Amino acid sequence: MTVDRGGGGGAGGSPFDMEVDQGPDAAVACDPACAGNQICEAGACAENPGGCGDDVDCIGASRICVESACADGCAVPDDCAQDAAGPLCVAGRCGQCRGDDDCPGASTCRDRACVPPDRCTSSLECGGAFVCDDGECTGGFSCNVEDFACPDGYDCGDDGQCRPLAGGQNCESSDQCPVGEVCRASRPRYCGACQTDEDCPGAQTCEAGAQGNRCADAAECAGDDDCVGNRICEAGTCTQPSCNDDDFAGNGTQETAAPLPGDQVYRGLVSCETDWFQVNLPANTVATIVMRQRDREADLTLVAFASNGTELGRSATNRLTEAVVVGPFGSERPVLIEVFQVDALAVAAYDLEISFAERGSFCPDDPFEAGAGDDTEASARYVRGPNDVAFAPVAGRACPGDADWVCFDLQNRERVTISAQVNGGGALLGELFRDGESLAEGRWTSDEREDIANIQGARGTYCLRLSAEGDAVGYSLELQAVSPEVLTLCRSAEPVRLSADGTGTDNGQLEDTDVMSPSCAAARADGGEAVYTVDVAAPSLLVARATGLGRGTLGDPVISLRGSCESANSELACSTGVREPADPGLASPNPAELRAAVEPGTYTLVVDGFA
């Protein structure tokens, strides 16, 4: 129809056509009106094909706007289990909170994220990588910050953590090594135990101890170089330098333990001898306790105890960082923390970091992860050096989505076998690499084992990546490296024939070639070996004695006892010298005597000597 829009009804107006559809298919207005930039189609709101600018432009409780297009967001909490934004599903998006009640302490919820208060009382209130330090939320430890520079022998990684120099504890001088260790004259050079007094600086002496050989103070010093760590020489005697204690001075005993609020960091602490602290761990809470050493002047150990004296966790490595994980418990309880020096007293600086997390709020990783971390090949745990005999113990917990790395060195033609014991509902996956190339894979559950077995390669560093399949899984690894020479030697083992009274003797001669060395001996035995097996029928005290004959090549003998000849990690005991009757304070290395309580089974005795 034509409608005349002329003014005043007169002629001369500008006519136009307008179509009016009065039929049954006429558009029906949307009621209520559509939100955002949604469009109305056939009486119903629809998403705009031109895209979106905000979640309100999308239709559906779990539809969200992603890069100008509507998409499905999370629908249930499980969708957010591994999301970095948080574990809760809030209006289609993952986040930390729905409201203030979901946030710890005095922190508040804004845009699905917990926001710290102006003054914190807990690191949980700070969130992410931030910690509560003296009431302020600050960044966690990072060696990229000038105040946290790494000591000699360590590099600062991209993640802000101090790492041993590439290839384990490589070094240029003994100053870069843990206190008591030396920079070994090998290729490549690495930090390790001394073998003789000449390995140690100045007039220091090489002494055997529970942790193996270590350099010790000279009996009479002429200068500070004759003393270990930062100990000083005064009037011919090595002594501890003046120690200016920290704000917690007077906490040298369990009874005088300094009370700590708990979930915070404590910077600039000083170890003069032994420090004790106490925190109250809330019910159903996991505590991660990290001691981060600022220097290499002393060897510090971290231990956590229950109030009744029960040990809850211990960390005693040669790294800068020690860590233990404690809890959860069904009720609130006090936890005592001890930080103490090993060997002669020096002065050392350290930080103490304590963090709380509710049971089930996350996967509590192993103490190593809580300390230096092992998420990448560059930051891997290094468990066997180029000249080490045995592997360091490897145990931990693998969390979903978080890899653990372990690296070790193999000698030429050695074959490595890797097995694992696991607990937990998931499976442990292992993949072995050399120079980025995958060599083999393994898989272990609580009732099935697929070991990485008999992998042979050239001399060098190999790395194992561990990950969890399904639920978190706790694990302990058994690593064994065997050379063809060790296999040949072990196959030549002679049985010791025991008489009715349980004794037996044998005369033998050592091989010309050095094939193995007892790792628990006072010094490296670099001569040849003779190997014997002995069958034990009942729980017994096994006593073995070896005497080097005059004009022989044995030298001062060493005996070691192994559960399995091929496995250095199965070593149970080593010999000591025999006390002189005329001078009980003096031990003669020849003959050597080994004493060990053993259960029924077959054991290997290795007689070794010095070239």
Same-domain check for residues 170 and 186: yes
Task: Tell me, yes or no, whether 369 lies in a domain.
Answer: no
Find the range with the poorest average confidence among 31-40, 160-169, 311-320, 496-505: 160-169
pLDDT band at 36 (very low <50, low <70, confident <90, very high): confident
Are 472 and 531 in a shared domain?
no
Q: In 10 A of CB 10, how many CB atoms?
A: 8
- Is residue 66 one of the residues assigned to a domain? yes
The pLDDT tens digits for 407-452 are 888 887 888 888 888 876 678 899 999 888 899 999 998 888 888 8
Residue 64 near residue 58 (C-beta atoms within 8 A): yes
For 561, the 3-state DSSP assignment is strand
Closest Cα partner for 603 from 567, 557, 556, 554? 567
Q: Is the pLDDT of residue 17 over 50?
A: no
Question: When comparing pLDDT for 191 and 56, which is higher?
Answer: 56
The answer to whether position 280 is within a domain reads: yes
- Out of 326, 359, 392, a domain closes at 359
Kindly report the CATH number assigned to the domain that includes residue 396. 2.60.120.380
User: Among 477, 464, 487, which Cα is nearest to 414's?
Assistant: 487
Residue 17 lies in a domain: no
pTM of the full structure: 0.58
* CA atoms lying within 13 Å on the CB side of residue 109: 14
* Domain match, 542 and 581 both: yes
pLDDT at 580: 42
**Domain containing residue 519: CATH number:** 2.60.120
The answer to whether residue 22 scores a pLDDT higher than 60 is: no
The pLDDT, as a whole number, for residue 522 is: 45
Q: Would you state the pLDDT for residue 31?
A: 64
pLDDT of residue 4: 38
Q: What is the pLDDT of residues 164-212, one digit of tens each?
A: 655 445 677 777 777 888 887 665 667 777 777 888 888 888 876 655 6
Rounded Cα distance between 456 and 417, Å, is 9
285 and 359 in contact (C-beta within 8 Å)?
yes
> Residue 556: which pLDDT band, with cuts at 50, 70 and 90?
low
CB 473 within 8 Å of CB 397: yes
The answer to whether residues 490 and 477 belong to one domain is no
Give yes or no: residues 355 and 389 share one domain.
no
Comparing 316-330, 420-434, 544-558, the range with the smallest average pLDDT is 544-558
User: Considering the chain, what percentage of its residues have pLDDT values greater than 70?
Assistant: 76
Model confidence at 19, pLDDT cuts 50, 70, 90, reads very low
Instruction: Name the β-bridge partners of 584.
Output: none
Do 604 and 494 share a structural domain? yes
pLDDT, one tens digit per residue, over 492-545 is: 888 887 777 767 676 666 666 666 666 655 445 566 777 888 888 888 788 887
**Whether 457 and 489 share a structural domain:** no
* Residue 211 shares a structural domain with residue 258: no
* pLDDT tens-digit map of 564-611: 777 776 777 777 644 444 444 444 556 677 777 878 888 888 887 655
Long-range contacts of residues 239-242, Cβ cutoff 8 Å, at least 24 apart: 240/272, 240/344, 240/345, 240/346, 240/347, 241/346, 241/347, 242/347
Count how many Cα atoms sit within 13 Å of the Cα of residue 455 in the half-sphere of its side chain: 23
Residues 568 and 598 reside in one and the same domain: yes
pLDDT at 277: 93
pLDDT at residue 279 greater than cutoff 50:
yes
pLDDT band of residue 339 (cuts 50, 70, 90) is very high
Question: Does 20 map to a domain?
Answer: no
Report pLDDT for 365: 55
DSSP assignment letter at 123: H
CA distance 231 to 217: 9
Q: 73-77, 140-144, 333-337, 412-416: which range is least confident on average?
A: 140-144
248 part of a folded domain? no
Q: Taking all residues of the chain, what is their mean pLDDT, rounded to a whole number?
A: 76
Print the domain residue range for 547: 485-608
The verdict on 450 and 521 lying in the same domain is no
Residue 114 has pLDDT above 60, yes or no: yes
Confidence of residue 491 (pLDDT cuts 50, 70, 90): confident
**What's residue 555's pLDDT?**
56
**Mean per-residue pLDDT for 307-319?**
82
Mean pLDDT of 474-480: 84
**Closest to 281 (Cα-Cα) out of 263, 303, 302:** 263
Residues 47 and 32: beta-carbon distance below 8 Å: no
Query: Which amino acid is located at 479 in the chain?
Result: L
Same domain (yes/no): 501, 577: yes
Domain for residue 575, yes or no?
yes
On whether both 274 and 288 belong to a single domain, the answer is yes
Check pLDDT > 60 for residue 3. no
pLDDT above 70 (res 133): yes
Q: For the ranges 26-30, 73-77, 188-192, which has the lowest average pLDDT?
A: 26-30
Is residue 82 in a domain?
A: no
Residue 579 confidence (pLDDT): 41
| pLDDT for the residue 336 | 93
Q: Quickly list DSSP for 268-290.
A: EEEESSEEEEEEEEPTTEEEEEE
Q: Which residues pair with 577 in a beta bridge?
A: 592
What stretches of 188-238 show up as alpha helix (H) in DSSP?
none
User: Of 359, 394, 422, which residue constitutes the final position of a domain?
Assistant: 359
Residues in a beta bridge with 427: 469
Q: pLDDT (tens digit, 9 = 90+) per residue, 368-408?
A: 555 555 667 777 777 787 667 778 777 777 777 778 888 88
Alpha helices in 431-548 (DSSP H): 484-491
Q: Tell me the residue length of the chain.
A: 611
CA distance linking residue 384 with residue 369, whole number of Å: 19
**Closest to 442 in 3D by CA, of 432, 451, 454:** 451
Which of 482, 507, 525 is the last residue in one of the domains? 482
> pLDDT-based confidence at 338, cuts 50/70/90?
very high
Question: What pLDDT sits at residue 278?
Answer: 92
Mean pLDDT is highest, among 322-331, 492-501, 543-552, for 322-331
The residue among 549, 546, 544 whose CA lies nearest residue 561 is 544
Spell 414-434 as b/e; 16+ CB within 10 A means b.
Answer: bbbbbbbebebebbbbbbbbe
Tokens representing 228 are: 């270990």
Number of domains in the chain: 5
- Whether 88 has a pLDDT exceeding 90, the answer reads no
